[in-house]
């Protein structure tokens, strides 16, 4: 396991472009693989998770060509095409998104049988959340203890259904929408709270018949996708680490360019603004929808922060950044409390435990609650110490940012986990620090 030390440093200054969006890259590769015509993807994320998706579509018979300059061409096999490998093991690595989205496609391929498995962390990620709706659609699918990977998908005929999501999950929603394209009739999914809508946007771009009425989405069976080239914007979840660093390290000012500003992904920026963070941005408005992803700039400067309460309705749009809310809370004046975020226990690590134990070791006054955490800050910096990433890319990067803003520095155990979503994280950070 690699360790890295992050000493107090700064300010962060300059322009910066985050790596490509992980969620959108996964979807672009999968929808490319389901298309009949080749799809060129500009700015495809080059990271461990999204390489797992390219490897999986290659195993399923799609072509993947590196066109240079971050562009990848996918030669798909079509939505209903007999997939080249009608059986075998697909390694999803560390990717929960691949684990949950791909079965939606495979379940509708009569005659095929695949086993999806991955690393130690993936084996702890629940899949009953996709097994239930897929079975309701007629799929034959087995999981270890009916709940965990490895997951065996036996392809077959699917039937349209109506499914109410028991939890806010874009992955489950996306799995059902993908299966819905193969199922007879129409398939309706009802969300309790709005989760990221990248799949809906790519469905619209692929000219798949679907309707959206508030939190109810209906997709109908289609024969083929009509997908043109896709340009992947920068990842707001990766940018969030530099935003947090610029907020916390005195005298910092960073302009973040070419970042996705989709409303369903930008909850963290709104929460940070409410805490008093100086973030100028043209964030998308709630309810806006188009078949393209909004892209723009964030202009961030250091400033004092105040504690805040995060309500359950705000959680899905900030789900991957809630640990950074805890970090900001540890430097803010007053209490920061996050409610309705029990889903954090099912991420790459149990993120409630990882952030509470991790920040406690760095000197924060933070406690876990049933569905989130509460941090008590007095406006002074964290002391520092050692934090264990627990194999979780987002906890590793959080530790690094905590170190820069701390009094004594932070040692991150397992820093190499950052390569799951952001291989150039340390390089980009050093550039903004001018070191
Ligand atoms: C993702 C959805 C979220 C998020 C994950 C990526 C996606 O997971 O945490 O990092 O790309 O759809 P859930 O659907 O489990 O909330």
Q: What is the position in ligand 1's atom list of the atom closest to the CA of 199?
A: 12
Query: Comparing C-alpha atoms, which of 102, 262, 93, 77 is closest to residue 174?
Result: 102
Catalytic entry in 21, 119, 197, 320: 320
pLDDT confidence of residue 82 = 65
Q: How far is the CA of 23 from the centre of ligand 1 (A)?
A: 8
Q: How far is CA 311 from its chain centroid?
A: 20
Q: How far is CA 434 from its chain centroid?
A: 29
**Residue in the block written with tokens 């562009």:** 71
Q: Between 170-182 and 96-106, two packed helices, what is the crossing angle to 10 degrees?
A: 20
Q: How far is the CA of 194 from the centre of ligand 1 (A)?
A: 12
Tens digit of each residue's pLDDT (9 = 90 or more) over 99-146: 999 999 999 999 999 999 999 999 999 999 999 999 999 999 999 999
Cβ 53 under 6 angstroms from ligand 1? no
Sheet of strand 385-388, all strands in order from the earlier edge strand to the far edge: 3-6, 410-413, 385-388
Write the residue with the smallest CA distance to atom 15 of ligand 1: 169
Tens digit of each residue's pLDDT (9 = 90 or more) over 53-88: 999 999 999 999 999 999 999 999 999 876 766 778
320 is catalytic: yes
Grouping H, G, I as helix, E, B as strand and the rest as coil, residue 235 is coil
pLDDT reading at 10 higher than 90: no
Tens digit of each residue's pLDDT (9 = 90 or more) over 164-193: 999 999 999 999 999 999 999 999 999 999
Mutational pocket test of ligand 1: of 20, 21, 22, 23, the residue with most ligand atoms within 8 Å of the beta carbon: 23
CA–CA separation, 297 vs 413, rounded Å? 32
CB 219 within 8 A of CB 405: no
pLDDT confidence of residue 282 = 86
Query: Comparing C-alpha atoms, which of 68, 61, 60 is closest to residue 44?
Result: 68
Grouping H, G, I as helix, E, B as strand and the rest as coil, residue 45 is coil
- Cα–Cα distances (Å) from 407 to 8, 247, 414, in that order, read 6, 16, 22
Q: How far is the CA of 345 from the centre of ligand 1 (A)?
A: 13
Radius of gyration, CA atoms only, the chain: 21
Tens digit of each residue's pLDDT (9 = 90 or more) over 332-379: 999 999 999 999 999 999 999 999 999 999 999 999 999 999 999 999
Calculate mean pLDDT across residues 399-426.
98
Calculate mean pLDDT across residues 212-224.
96
CB 75 within 8 A of CB 63: yes
pTM of the model: 0.98
pLDDT confidence of residue 112 = 92
pLDDT reading at 151 higher than 80: yes
Write the residue with the smallest CA distance to atom 13 of ligand 1: 169
Cβ 320 under 6 angstroms from ligand 1? yes
Q: How far is the CA of 67 from the centre of ligand 1 (A)?
A: 28
Q: What is the position in ligand 1's atom list of the atom closest to the CA of 129?
A: 15
β-pair type (295-301, 253-260): antiparallel
For residue 432 the two structure tokens come to 């903004």
């Amino acid at each position: 396991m690699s360790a890295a030390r992050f000493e107090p440093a700064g300010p962060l200054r300059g322009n910066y472009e985050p790596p490509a969006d992980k969620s959108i890259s996964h979807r672009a590769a999968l929808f490319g693989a389901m298309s009949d015509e080749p799809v060129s993807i500009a700015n495809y994320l080059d990271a461990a998770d999204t390489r797992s998706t390219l490897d999986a579509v290659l195993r399923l018979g799609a072509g993947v060509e590196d066109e240079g300059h971050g562009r990848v061409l996918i030669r798909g096999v079509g939505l209903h095409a007999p997939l080249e490998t009608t059986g075998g093991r697909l390694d999803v690595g560390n990717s929960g998104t691949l684990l949950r989205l791909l079965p939606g496609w495979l379940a509708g391929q009569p005659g095929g049988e695949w086993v999806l498995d991955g690393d130690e962390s993936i084996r702890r990620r629940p899949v009953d959340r996709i097994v239930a709706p897929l079975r309701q659609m007629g799929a034959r699918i087995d999981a270890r203890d009916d709940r965990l990977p490895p997951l065996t998908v036996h392809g077959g005929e699917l039937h349209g259904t109506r499914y109410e999501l028991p939890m806010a999950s874009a992955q489950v929603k996306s799995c059902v929408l993908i299966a819905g394209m193969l199922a007879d009739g129409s398939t309706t999914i009802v969300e309790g709270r709005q989760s990221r809508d990248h799949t809906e946007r790519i469905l619209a771009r692929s000219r798949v018949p679907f309707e959206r009425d508030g939190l109810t989405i209906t997709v109908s069976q289609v024969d083929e996708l009509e997908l043109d080239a896709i340009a992947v914007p920068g990842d707001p979840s990766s940018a969030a680490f530099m935003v947090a660093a610029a907020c916390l390290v005195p005298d910092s000012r960073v302009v973040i360019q070419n970042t996705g500003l989709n409303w369903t992904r930008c909850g963290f920026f709104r929460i940070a603004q409410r805490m008093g963070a100086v973030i100028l941005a043209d964030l998308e408005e709630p309810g806006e929808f188009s078949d393209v992803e909004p892209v723009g700039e964030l202009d961030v400067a250091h400033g004092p922060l105040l504690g805040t309460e995060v309500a359950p309705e705000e959680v899905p749009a900030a789900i991957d950044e809630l640990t950074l809310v805890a970090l900001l809370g540890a430097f803010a004046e007053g209490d920061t409390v996050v409610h309705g975020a029990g889903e954090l226990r099912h991420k790459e690590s149990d993120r409630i435990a990882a952030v509470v134990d991790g920040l406690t070791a760095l000197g924060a006054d933070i406690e876990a609650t049933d569905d989130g955490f509460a941090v008590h800050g007095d406006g002074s910096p964290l002391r520092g110490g050692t934090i264990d990433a627990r194999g979780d890319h987002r906890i590793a990067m959080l530790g690094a940012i905590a170190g820069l803003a701390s009094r004594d520095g932070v040692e991150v155990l397992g820093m190499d986990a950052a390569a799951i979503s952001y291989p150039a994280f340390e390089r980009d950070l050093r550039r903004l620090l001018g070191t």
